[in-house]
Amino acid sequence: MTGSEAIDADLGKQTLAKITRHLMPMLCVMYLIAYIDRQNVSYAKLEMVDALGLSEAAYGLGASLFFLGYFLFEAPANMILAKVGARLWFARIMGSWGLVTLALGFTQNAAMFYILRFLLGVAEAGFFPGVLYVLTLWYPQARRAQMVGLFMLASAVANAVGALIGGALLGLDGLAGLAGWQWVFIATAIPAMLLVPLILTRLPAGPTEAAFLAEDEKRWLAATLAGEPKPPADGPAWRALIDPRVLMFAALYLGMPLGAYGLSYWLPTIVKGFGASNLQNGAINILPWLCVAVALWAVPRHAERHGASVWHIAGPLFLAAIALLGSVLLPGVVLKFGCLCVAAAAILSAQPVFWSVPQRLLSGTHAATGLAVINSIGNLGGFIAQNAVPAIHDATGSNLAPMAGLSLALLISAVGCLFALKPLMPAALPSPH
């Protein structure tokens, strides 16, 4: 390495470290709050079902309507983001979903619950794929899977925090004349609304407006991103809606949210079936998400160091399918719960490297729309899961039988990724540092 190359490498390492230090904490906090506000229904369910006189299947339908609203408005939301910028659009997203979550705390009947869950999906639409698009503006290709993994760590923390506070908030039953399930929604809505002014004042609109970057760092980033291989121009953003590559990625992704949301939605119910109290339930449910955090750190890091492989996607999905099946077939509470911990970690750890593939193949506003389409169609898996899981429970009377259905969905997704993505996976990308 020549002297100038060494200087350039040091500048690159310094620039990416600054970006990560200033940008990622805010994105992660936003996702943490988003995940808590979409998953708080899994804890509220422990009391809300009886309070509103709903069956498990009816409650599952209401919870799943979030994903229908998300699906319908995700692509338009990302088109708007590409035009107005992340700062304004993320502030709008956070504020609106905070207000809807607050309203959920005062749900009076099933119809109101259904409407508000749908509106929550509409409010949050565009956030996750919006962040994926924003990362393409700040990071070279070789670093994106690791950053997606870091961003998704917030979902693991959110589930762990949500598990801890969900059980505790149910214990506030009667405080100020409100039920415990009402406090679950009210307390988790407030942070989203408080974050809005922080986003408006602290989130940069783009690298050129980042006050924390020096001019030579901005030039290095611009030159690095400009020098990377670019896919051919994809045409207008709306064409992503019918792009065969986008639809293929969406079909492959479908099984991942199906498994993840089916598991996270039903975990508190499974643990309650083990005989745990509400507070014990929350504490026990921290364990799977600690496993997820470790996996989300380790798998993208391994992919960056050794070159992304299709096995970084398909391998965890195969493992998750086996673990979920084990949670049904193996004897004893400890073994069953251990399998659920492995499954949760494996499902989520497949996603960072998966997302790095469409990020590399799509460009410009086509990328913003395409990522939204993949995520919105894929997240219909959440809609399917939150209806199928309680339906299987109602048909079988078993809390663990639904895990076999999720196992089959993940197996299909793993096989599909293995064959469809192998020709598209890049050779080992050079490290940017």
Assess whether pLDDT exceeds 80 at residue 273. no
**Length reported for the chain:** 433
Domains detected in the chain: 19-424 (1.20.1250.20)
Mean pLDDT (whole number) for 313-331 = 88
- Which tops the pLDDT comparison, 123 or 396? 123
Residue 100 pLDDT level (bands cut at 50, 70, 90): very high
Residue 96 pLDDT level (bands cut at 50, 70, 90): very high
Assess whether pLDDT exceeds 90 at residue 318. yes
Residue with tokens 């990416």: 16
Residue 50 pLDDT level (bands cut at 50, 70, 90): confident
Q: In sequence order, what are the residues at sequence separation of 6 or more whose Cβ sits closer than 8 angstroms to the Cβ of residue 102?
A: 185, 186, 189, 190, 193
| Per-residue confidence (pLDDT) for residue 233, from 0 to 100 | 53
Across the chain, mean pLDDT equals 82
Mean pLDDT (whole number) for 77-106 = 89
Assess whether pLDDT exceeds 90 at residue 281. no
Which tokens in the block code for residue 73? 């408005």
Mean pLDDT (whole number) for 413-419 = 90
| Per-residue confidence (pLDDT) for residue 6, from 0 to 100 | 57
Contact 194, 180 (CB under 8 A): no
Assess whether pLDDT exceeds 50 at residue 307. yes
Lowest-confidence range among 70-74, 100-104, 218-222?
A: 70-74
| Per-residue confidence (pLDDT) for residue 280, from 0 to 100 | 74
Residue by residue, DSSP assigns 54-85 as --HHHHHHHHHHHHHHHHHHHHHHHHHHHHH-
| Per-residue confidence (pLDDT) for residue 429, from 0 to 100 | 40
What DSSP element (H or E) covers 383?
Answer: helix 380-396
Task: Provide the CB-side half-sphere exposure for 120 (13 A, CA).
Answer: 30
Lowest-confidence range among 231-245, 327-341, 355-369, 413-427?
A: 231-245
Residue 239 pLDDT level (bands cut at 50, 70, 90): low
pTM of the full structure? 0.72
| Per-residue confidence (pLDDT) for residue 56, from 0 to 100 | 74
Lowest-confidence range among 196-200, 236-240, 370-374?
A: 236-240
| Per-residue confidence (pLDDT) for residue 431, from 0 to 100 | 41
| Per-residue confidence (pLDDT) for residue 414, from 0 to 100 | 93
Assess whether pLDDT exceeds 80 at residue 26. yes
Which tokens in the block code for residue 179? 């039920």
Lowest-confidence range among 117-131, 202-216, 262-276, 331-345?
A: 262-276
| Per-residue confidence (pLDDT) for residue 68, from 0 to 100 | 84
| Per-residue confidence (pLDDT) for residue 433, from 0 to 100 | 41
Range of 38-42, 135-139, 395-399, 404-408 with top mean pLDDT: 135-139
Assess whether pLDDT exceeds 60 at residue 19. yes
Q: Hey, is 68 helix, strand or coil?
A: helix
Write out pLDDT tens, residues 216-226. Answer: 999 999 998 88
Buried (b) or exposed (e) across 386-402, using 16+ Cβ within 10 A? bbbbbbbbeeeeebbeb
Residue by residue, DSSP assigns 193-246 as HHHHHHHHHHS-SSGGG-TTS-HHHHHHHHHHHHHS--PPP--SGGGGGG-HHH
Which tokens in the block code for residue 420? 């469809």
| Per-residue confidence (pLDDT) for residue 152, from 0 to 100 | 81
Assess whether pLDDT exceeds 70 at residue 238. no
Assess whether pLDDT exceeds 70 at residue 237. no
127 φ, ψ to 5°? -70, -55
Mean pLDDT (whole number) for 125-129 = 84
